[in-house]
């Protein structure tokens, strides 16, 4: 299981590092949905670090892998929604457009427009091999989520096989039956 935590941590670091690289060195500005897609990657990094800290406690590591899988599946949903917004299948969130309440005070509106780069969620700012970053994020998060789930299930399935010498966790019901 430590290898799974290291792999998930590396995937999270590469994803966030790539996003920051594109943003700060190539001026690919993120929209609000791009920011939402970054949060689960930060969470899997934290969960992976905790899994490495608690690697001697398989139950804790198991729950951290399940939480990582859940975060990645949610991120895949966010990326799918973002892809739909980019393709104009449905409208984005309220944060995807300019907030009309800003224009109540002309001075505040002018200041907000000068300080804030307008990045719309339905405008594609970067593609790689014909797909947007949100498009790439859907299968990536699904794959990583299934990887985390399989890493959680693998020791438990092994313990259920005939001739197995116990489970991955101490005091488990499976240990007593074997």
- Taking only the tens place, the pLDDT of each residue in 24-48 is 888 777 877 888 888 999 999 999 9
| Cα(22)–Cα(134) distance, integer angstroms | 14
pLDDT at 172: 55
pLDDT at 119: 63
**Residue 88 is part of a domain; what is its CATH number?**
1.20.1550
Q: How many helices (H) and strands (E) does the chain have?
A: 6, 2
Structural domain of residue 126, as residue ranges?
2-177
CA neighbor of 33 nearest in space, from 115, 133, 141, 145: 133
pLDDT at 124: 65
The domain total for the chain is 1
- Non-local CB neighbours of 40 within 8 Å, separated by 6+ positions: 71, 72, 74, 75, 78, 141
Q: Report the chain's C-alpha Rg in angstroms.
A: 21
Query: Tokens 């973002």 appear where?
Result: 82
pLDDT at 45: 94
Query: Tokens 């966030």 appear where?
Result: 16
Structure tokens at 160: 């259920």
* Ranges of the chain with pLDDT below 50: 174-178
């Amino acid at each position: 299981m430590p290898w799974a935590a290291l792999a998930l941590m590396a995937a999270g670091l590469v994803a966030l590092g790539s996003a920051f690289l594109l943003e700060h060195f190539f001026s690919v500005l993120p929209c609000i949905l791009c920011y939402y897609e970054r949060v689960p990657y930060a969470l899997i990094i934290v969960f992976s670090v905790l899994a490495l800290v608690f690697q001697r406690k398989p139950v804790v590591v198991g729950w951290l892998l399940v939480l990582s899988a859940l975060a990645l599946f949610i991120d895949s949903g966010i990326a799918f929604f973002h892809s739909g917004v980019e393709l104009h299948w449905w409208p984005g969130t309220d944060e995807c457009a300019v907030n009309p309440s800003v224009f109540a005070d002309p001075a505040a509106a002018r200041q907000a427009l000068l300080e804030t780069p307008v990045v719309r969620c339905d405008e594609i700012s970067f593609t790689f091999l014909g797909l947007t970053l949100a498009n790439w994020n859907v299968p990536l998060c699904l794959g990583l989520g299934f990887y985390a789930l399989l890493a959680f299930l693998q020791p438990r399935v092994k313990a259920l096989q005939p001739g197995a010498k116990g489970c991955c966790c101490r005091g488990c019901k499976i240990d007593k039956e074997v």
